[in-house]
């Protein structure tokens, strides 16, 4: 597994904090300015950056990220350009921060699994999250990624039965992404009552850190969750802030969530 992801969690833990995994859409509003957004997130305290690569048919995403994907595609964002123009520059500006690509399986298939894995590794990508690739379908891709040293980070859902959740957790790479809500990405006023039990179950089974994502947008939510997880993912709230007010708003929101993550 990529040492960079483990180190990022260890650093946060040593500071007595949950880790913040911050998601942004590469290419929104355009490729260079999205690098500024990502950089601002790291300045605000993000421990890991999730670089969203737009897909035309994002079935796991709610309206905020869907809208960002449409803007990114209009601005010419492609996986190749993100790997050429966003990842290296971001890696140069924030060399300590692990970068994780989040996109859909078709986008990776179109580039070719091996070509992607090789390019990703060369450019400084530590992991990949594919929300439409459940474990049953991930065999060949994971073997390719393993060989290149890129972590294929698995997802676990509220609907996942306990035995399946444990199997996903045991066999994870990088970290386990626990989807907090039954639904698509987007802010939620309330998170499910049984979320903490679910996180504890996965945490017990996993040798890797466990984070909660989908629906999280406030410091209070982050605070509650950080008792049961190694970190949280914040996506739609950051994408919306950056779209409405630019990088400084994303920086401020990261800082605020980070305060919530103090244990």
Partner 1 sequence: MNTQTAVGRFGRFGGRYVPETLVPALMELEEAYAAARADPTFDAEVAQVLREFVGRPTTLTPARRLTEAWGGAHVWLKREDLAHTGAHKINNTVGQVLLARRMGKKRIIAETGAGQHGVATATACALFGLPCEVFMGALDVERQALNVFRMRALGAVVRPVESGSRTLKDAMNEAMRTWVSQVSDTHYVIGSAAGPHPYPTVVRDFQAIIGRELRTQAQAAFGKLPDAIVACVGGGSNAIGVLHPFIGDPSVRLIGVEAGGHGLDSGQHGASLTLGTEGVLHGSRSLVLQDADGQIQEAHSISAGLDYPGVGPELAHLAKTGRMEVRTATDDEALASFYEVARLEGILPALETSHAFARGRELARELGAGKYLVINCSGRGDKDVATISARGVPPAVGVKP
**Catalytic residue numbers, as ranges:** 50, 61
What are the DSSP calls for 56-79, one per residue?
A: SS-TT--HHHHHHHHHHHHTT--H
Q: Which of 6, 10, 111, 219 binds partner 1 (CB under 8 A)?
A: 111
Contact between 236 and partner 1 per CB under 8 A: no
Radius of gyration of the chain (CA): 16
Minimum Å distance from CB 32 to partner 1?
Answer: 19
**Inter-residue contact 263 to 18 (CB < 8 Å):** yes
Minimum Å distance from CB 192 to partner 1?
Answer: 12
Contact between 250 and partner 1 per CB under 8 A: no
Site for partner 1 in 129-148 (CB under 8 A): 131-134, 136-137
64 beta partners: none
What b/e readout covers 90-104, taking b as 16+ CB neighbours within 10 angstroms? bbeebeebbbbbbbb
Contact between 107 and partner 1 per CB under 8 A: yes
Contact between 247 and partner 1 per CB under 8 A: no
Minimum Å distance from CB 61 to partner 1?
Answer: 8
Number of residues that bind partner 1 (CB under 8 A): 41
Q: Tokens for 197?
A: 């039990």
Sheet holding 155-156, edge to edge: 151-152, 125-129, 99-102, 48-52, 19-25, 231-234, 210-213, 176-179, 155-156
Q: Which of 16, 140, 161, 194 binds partner 1 (CB under 8 A)?
A: 161
Q: Tokens for 229?
A: 């997880």
Minimum Å distance from CB 63 to partner 1?
Answer: 9
Site for partner 1 in 38-57 (CB under 8 A): 55-57
Closest CA to 120 of 131, 107, 132: 107
Range list of β-strands (E), the chain: 19-25, 48-52, 99-102, 125-129, 151-152, 155-156, 176-179, 210-213, 231-234
Minimum Å distance from CB 11 to partner 1?
Answer: 28
Query: Considering beta carbons, is residue 44 or 154 the nearer one to partner 1?
Result: 154
- Of 22-30, 40-48, 94-102, 152-160, the segment contacting partner 1 by CB under 8 A is 152-160
Contact between 70 and partner 1 per CB under 8 A: yes
Contact between 157 and partner 1 per CB under 8 A: yes
Contact between 102 and partner 1 per CB under 8 A: no
C-alpha to C-alpha distance for 94 and 161, rounded to whole angstroms? 38
Contact between 245 and partner 1 per CB under 8 A: no
Intra-chain end-to-end CA distance of the chain, in Å = 27
Q: Which of 159, 163, 190, 194 binds partner 1 (CB under 8 A)?
A: 159
Chain residues binding partner 1 by CB under 8 A are: 55-62, 66, 70, 73, 78-80, 104-111, 131-134, 136-137, 155-161, 164, 168, 179, 182-184
């Amino acid at each position: 597994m990529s040492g960079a992801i483990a180190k990022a969690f260890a650093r946060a833990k040593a500071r007595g904090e949950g880790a913040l995994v911050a998601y942004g859409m590469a290419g929104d509003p355009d490729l260079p300015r999205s690098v500024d957004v990502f950089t601002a997130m790291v300045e605000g305290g993000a421990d890991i950056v999730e670089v969203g690569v737009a897909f035309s048919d994002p079935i796991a995403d709610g309206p905020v990220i869907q809208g960002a994907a449409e803007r990114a595609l209009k601005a010419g964002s492609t996986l190749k350009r993100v790997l050429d123009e966003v990842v290296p520059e971001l890696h140069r500006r924030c060399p300590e921060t692990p970068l994780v690509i989040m996109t859909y399986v078709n986008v990776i298939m179109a580039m070719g699994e091996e070509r992607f894995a090789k390019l990703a590794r060369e450019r400084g990508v530590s992991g990949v999250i594919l929300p439409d690739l459940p474990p049953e379908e991930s065999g060949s891709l994971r073997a390719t990624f393993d060989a290149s040293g890129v972590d294929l980070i698995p997802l676990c859902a509220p609907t996942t039965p306990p035995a399946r959740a444990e199997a996903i957790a045991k066999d994870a790479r990088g970290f386990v992404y626990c989807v907090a809500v039954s639904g698509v990405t987007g802010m939620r006023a309330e998170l499910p009552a049984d979320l903490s039990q679910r996180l504890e179950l996965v945490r017990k089974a996993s040798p890797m850190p466990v984070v909660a994502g989908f629906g999280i947008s406030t410091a209070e939510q982050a605070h509650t969750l950080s008792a049961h997880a190694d970190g949280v993912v914040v996506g739609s709230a950051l994408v919306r802030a950056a779209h409405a007010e630019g990088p400084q708003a994303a920086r401020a929101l990261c800082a605020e969530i980070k305060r919530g993550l103090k244990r």
